[in-house]
Structure 1
């Protein structure tokens, strides 16, 4: 990975932080794309200290804000000539229904729409830098996901945190499949990954005691980063695209994620929401 430039969204904590650390250990220049700049700078210092890397950078990014995403893209393109790996790691699992600054239901807005828009912003540079890779963090919960096409943002039905999260993770795989088709022949690959059930800040809005108990049974963030790092860096995966990975191995995605009509329907809807 020497000389390669990588972006990790949500790189200030949990799986993202350990993914960024792993990329830095392998010699890559790493950009932490984060909303909380204080925590991001602390993560940068930690990663630099443990890896000896002088190439860890922080750029502000709020995936719940289209303006922030576009500003990030503009700044990154202005200051970097290449992008070899984009790890769409950041995500949210909220304890109650909320909205982004743009008025989108927050789980869907951050986990899917924000990820979709950021990837579009960076695609020209990824294509210019090919061979390059995009890694999208989904979840095994996408198998339980259902796209409610009439109410994707829970504006009419009763809000369920689990249903919202599962739907967003299914959307991640639908997006990965649709994007892989669009990138055929460009040298840019895109794959979705399940990191495992990991002790992270994802459930930070839940009661602290519940989170502590839950964390007793989970993987460490370092273990959770292993699959992302494998898909981002393994030489043998250079031509692999449009796949879903668990435990660093390809696994068939949910039947709902394989529906090409659904992939294209979501793409068109997302395109409209992201404008």
Structure 2
């Protein structure tokens, strides 16, 4: 729980800049020491982090390694993955870090990666869905799906399901979706998940699919509840990462003095993965505190929309509903 009074903390989020900036993180951080995960909290466990070659993914992997987890860096670029592994081992001598290739936007690649993981490990304790993309124009995956949908939603859904048996083998499995505060501007587009209607904008597609992630977290939490698998969503605030710099150069230039470090942005992911007692499953978090998923009444989902969207995704990803 944050050390800030609840009303002030919520107001900072609603005003966006105070809550999402480095100052929001640092003000809240003052009240956190009592909730920090115990040293070695993940010792003996295995964490899988997608998009782990740079930015938030690499910072997440580093944080999990510091807590004792063996970490699988899931990357598309092997050179970046190996460089990230070397950095983590340099920072955490003795850390066990694996580099594995997977394009999360490709369902075949996800299936190959999951099959290899099932043959290599006995359990997965933490699965972090962090891989992201923001194409400037509408682009499709190898399977014909809009690229942000494939990367942020379909690939992660399939990967979670394929690794279900490894997650079940953990005494305390946790799945974390790294969303974005930009999702607050969007409603669930159940009738146009592939962004075929209207003028395509990369930032809008990104925010829409981040909304989709958040809408599906409670669905997945219920799906895996009997298996003892917790499912959590979070957003990192504004963090200074290579992805932000390349995809939103104007935003990055204007806000750079306000941006968090990647480690600050990743803090809540690491906390969700390792804190005790276990956070409530199916919830949405920012800076170690449960947050509302809607600030605008126009973005609220109807049950029928969620059901329709879930049906679309399970069919597209080849899952049993």
Q: Shorter-chain TM-score: what band? A: over 0.9
Alpha-carbon separation, structure 1, partners of 2:302 and 2:181: 17
Deviation (angstroms), 1:215: 3.1
The C-alpha deviation readout for 1:206-259, integer Å capped at 9, x for no partner, is 4757644443331110100101011111012x2520000011101121265664
Alpha-carbon separation, structure 2, partners of 1:257 and 1:263: 11
Q: Which runs of 5+ in 2 are unaligned?
A: 1-41
- TM-score for both structures, normalised by structure 1: 0.93
Larger gyration radius, structure 1 or structure 2: 2
How many residue pairs align between the two structures?
Answer: 274
Deviation (angstroms), 1:96: 1.9
Alpha-carbon separation, structure 2, partners of 1:196 and 1:53: 31
Aligned to 1:187: 228
Q: Which runs of 5+ in 1 are unaligned?
A: none
Aligned to 1:66: 107
Query: Structure 2 vs 1, CA of residues 50 and 105 (structure 1 numbering), >3 Å: closer, same or farther?
Result: same
1:104 aligns with 2:150: no
Query: Structure 2 vs 1, CA of residues 209 and 258 (structure 1 numbering), >3 Å: closer, same or farther?
Result: closer
Alpha-carbon separation, structure 2, partners of 1:264 and 1:145: 18
Alpha-carbon separation, structure 1, partners of 2:269 and 2:110: 22
Aligned to 1:241: 281
1:36 aligns with 2:77: yes
**1:151-166 alignment, distance < 5 Å:** 151-166=192-207
Deviation (angstroms), 1:155: 2.0
Query: Structure 2 vs 1, CA of residues 16 and 186 (structure 1 numbering), >3 Å: closer, same or farther?
Result: same
- TM-score for both structures, normalised by structure 2: 0.81
1:171 aligns with 2:212: yes
Aligned to 1:114: 155
RMSD of Structure 2 on Structure 1 (CA): 1.8
Query: Structure 2 vs 1, CA of residues 97 and 217 (structure 1 numbering), >3 Å: closer, same or farther?
Result: farther
Aligned to 1:6: 47
